[in-house]
Amino acid sequence: MKTYKTIALYKAYKLLNTGALIVVSTSDTSQHHNHAPIAWNCPVEYDPVTQLLLVSDKEDKTFKNITETQKFTVCIPHSSQHKLVTDLGSCSGHDTDKITYITFV
């Protein structure tokens, strides 16, 4: 199991500015979870990073959850988590609770 490290916001742009793939985690109002790999992203502010631009289709569950709740979390997966990222991107958040899905993959 991987251990995640918290980094200072003023250093976050160094990770995001490289064009790293991110995983955006959201929940709808009924706590149905969704995690979406997003390749198109970049920081809008740099010191500290408090705004991030990401591209998501407006029909995706991620977009709908963010619009509905105004909340999301950004994770930067480690290269050893490539299977997890592929699995998260291989099913739709509209009909799958991805927390449950990745538990059994």
Q: What is the number of helices (H) and of strands (E) in the chain? A: 4, 5
CATH architecture type of domain 9-104: Roll (2.30)
pLDDT in tens, the chain (105 residues): 667 788 887 777 666 656 689 999 999 988 888 999 998 888 787 777 778 888 899 999 999 999 999 999 999 898 888 888 988 888 888 888 787 766 554
Strands (E), 28-101: 33-38, 41-43, 52-54, 73-75
Domain positions in the chain are: 9-104
Q: What is the pTM of this model?
A: 0.74
Q: CB-based contacts of 16: which residues, under 8 Å, 6+ apart?
A: 22, 41, 42, 43, 49, 52, 76
Please give the Cα distance from 47 to 60 (Å, whole number). 30
Q: Are 23 and 75 in contact (CB under 8 A)?
A: yes
